[in-house]
Structure 1
Amino acid sequence: MERVRMLVVEPSAIAPVGRLGEWLSEAGAELDVVRAPEIPGREALDEYEALIVMGGGMGALDDSEHPWLADVRALLSSAVSKQLPVLGVCLGAQLLAASTGGRVAPIKKGPEVGTSLVAKRDAAVDDPLLGPLPLTPDVLQFHNDEVTRLPPGAQLLAASPACENQAFRVGVCAYGVQFHVETTPEIVLDWARSMPETAASARPGQLEPAHLERFHAELAETWEPVAGRFVRLAATPPEQRRGSRALPMA
């Protein structure tokens, strides 16, 4: 398989593509990483087979402080229209929802922070990206906002008691995941230091280095294969993505 070109947008320096980027590269992806505020125009998508938007500490609609957020939403909207495979992580998922008719707001119960589980929904069973996951995969949570209403026609793929819309698909191949799988213990500890008020919502021991080391070892076993499936999805011709939920074998 030829290497698949993917555009990666990092809204924040403290939320890099991390281990997800390593997994994608090992599976055959060539990543072009851009960091806000340098957001390319929609025409740039013609050069890529997929778009990935990562997380950040700002809100999805904080345009007054971060005017480039409108450019990211336009990029996501265009990618969905083109049926280009998309993966939005945390803020990226919220931007995907906001750009396609969904709604984002602060979590009423307060921040969701720490290591936890999400539960797959029925629609995920036949999904080419998340279908093979365990029923309750491990994830890392660190967010103040949530998607309170999915875009019209979107499929809910995973949920949790704290936040209903944990993973969803818009159209054929645009995915949003509210949680993190790309982190390392060092990244999470950096977030805890830089956002102490948010980190205070975690249960005791959740952000301890030893716990994070053990957790991330298990996280890789579950989520590295998802990165490989995303690369294969991006390598699949658009007409085949429209007509089938199946992916070519590795």
Structure 2
Amino acid sequence: MSAPVVLVVEHEDGTGPAMVGERLVQAGLRLDLRRPWQGDPLPGSLDDHDGLLVLGGSMGPYDDERAPWLPQVRELLRQAVARDLPTLGICLGMELLTVACGGKVGHALRPEVGLVDLTPLQEGADDVLFGALGERPRAVQWHWEETENLPAGAVRLLTSERCAHQAYRLGNHIWGVQFHPEVLASDISHWGRADDTPVRALGLEPDDVVRKVDHDEPALRAVWGGMTDRWARVVASCVAPAD
């Protein structure tokens, strides 16, 4: 039996699947990484894929002129929802999922950057990905936009002090997360340099943000690596048996 194949959409340089990608490969999945910002074509359908992973990026979910492949990503997300194909949207990926399915994304009144405590919600107590996170898991945040209105039928799973919708589920196998489960300090160090001015405008020192993430790396690997392993099992369990 061949390995399940996950379509991975990367939106710009330096925003790859990182730890999530590593854990998926370790779990026996194969990644079909597409970089449309480099000219890689996106498939017209998900017929040849067993899962969909849509990553983050500095553009917003409505920035079609800046990133002309976004309409096709939104269409792939709608296809995934229609089929309940295992899907994980991270940061921009969640925002694209939101608008693709009729929700609304807007500018965050209080953007989140760096480590943030998350609060699991009762609705997510039995969720296959998030039901076993513990009371106050920490995650890396890096967003200036966020979901304002959830798509119809979405189940809220996680929240935070500044952002109401940190994670939600559509159907049984579609998840969006506003935070970045894939990154560690080495992944965000260049984000701090690129966003030096807006990060400092939040009263934060970019180098200090990176140091704190580095200090929490063991916990981040345990919590979000575990979540990734559970998503990998969902992908594998949904693969149709060969004829």
Please, what TM-score do these two structures have when normalized by structure 2?
A: 0.92
Supply the distance in 2 between the matched residues of 1:178 and 1:210 (Cα, whole angstroms).
21
The reply on whether 1:74 has 2:75 as its aligned counterpart is: yes
* Aligned-partner SS, 1:219: helix
Unmatched runs of 5 consecutive residues or more in structure 2: none
Cα offset for 1:42?
A: 3.1
Q: Indicate the residue corresponding to 1:159 in structure 2.
A: 159
SS in 2 for 1:198: helix
The question of whether the paired residues in 1 share the 8 Å contact of 2:87 and 2:175 is answered with yes
Structure 1: unaligned runs, 5 residues or longer: 240-250
> Secondary structure at the residue paired with 2:208?
coil
Shift of 1:211: 2.4
Task: Look up the equivalent residue of 1:116 and give its one-letter code.
Answer: V
Alignment of 1:53-202 (within 5 A): 53-109=54-110, 111-200=111-200, 201=202
Note if contact 1:52-1:87 (Cα within 8 Å) is conserved in structure 2: yes
Say if 1:182 and 1:237 are closer, same or farther in 2 by CA, change over 3 A.
Answer: closer
Q: 1:126 to 1:39 in 2, by over 3 A?
A: farther
> Aligned residue pairs: how many?
237
Query: What's the % identity of the aligned pairs?
Result: 34
| 46 and 140 in structure 1: CA distance in 2 versus 1, 3 angstrom threshold | same
Q: CA deviation at 1:199?
A: 1.9
**Contact 2:114/2:209 (8 A) holds in 1:** no
Amino acid in structure 1 at the alignment position of 2:143: H
**Rounded Cα–Cα distance in structure 1 between residues aligned with 2:18 and 2:206:** 23
Contact 1:113 1:198 survives alignment (8 Å): no
Q: Which residue number in structure 2 is paired with residue 41 of structure 1? A: 43
Q: Does 1:228 align with 2:221?
A: no
How far off is 1:162 after superposition?
A: 0.5
Could you list the structure 1 runs, at least 4 aligned residues long, displaced by more than 6 angstroms after superposition.
none
TM alignment of 1:12-51, pairs within 5 A: 12-37=12-37, 38-43=40-45, 45-51=46-52
Q: 1:63 to 1:214 in 2, by over 3 A?
A: same
Output the CA distance in 1 between the equivalents of 2:8 and 2:98. 18
C-alpha change, 1:62 and 1:209, in structure 2 (3 Å) is closer
- TM-score normalised by structure 1 residue count: 0.89
2:4 aligned residue: 4
Query: 1:22-72 CA distances to partner (integer Å, 9 max, x unpaired)?
Result: 0111112111100124341332x1111100000000000011222211111
Q: Which amino acid aligns with 1:223?
A: W
Tell whether the 8 Å contact from 1:158 to 1:168 is kept in structure 2 after alignment: yes
Query: Does structure 2 conserve the Cα–Cα contact (< 8 Å) formed by 1:205 and 1:211?
Result: no
Q: What secondary structure is seen at the aligned counterpart in 1 of 2:95? A: helix
Query: Letter of the aligned partner of 1:42 in structure 2?
Result: G
Deviation at 1:206?
A: 7.2
| Change in 2 beyond 3 A, CA 1:61/1:120 | same
Kept in 1: contact 2:50–2:238 (CA 8 A): no
Question: Relative to 1, partners in 2 of residues 1:42 and 1:82: Cα closer, same or farther, differing over 3 Å?
Answer: farther
The residue type paired with residue 50 of structure 1 is G
CA, structure 1 residues 232+145, in 2 after alignment: closer, same or farther (shift >3 Å)?
same
- For the Cα contact (< 8 Å) 2:55–2:90, is it kept in 1? yes
State the 1:210 CA deviation: 3.5
Distance in structure 1 (CA, Å) of the matches to 2:27 and 2:143: 28
Residues 138 and 220, structure 2, Cα contact 8 Å, conserved in 1: yes
Distance in structure 1 (CA, Å) of the matches to 2:206 and 2:78: 39
2:216 corresponds in structure 1 to: 215
What's the offset of the Cα at 1:131?
1.0
* Cα distance, 1:202 vs structure 2: 5.6
Range moving further from structure 2, 94-103 or 181-190: 181-190
Q: What root-mean-square deviation, in Å, do the aligned CA atoms of Structure 1 and Structure 2 show? A: 1.8
- Cα distance change on mapping 1:205 and 1:66 into 2, 3 Å: closer
The answer as to whether partners of 1:5 and 1:50 remain within 8 angstroms in 2 is yes
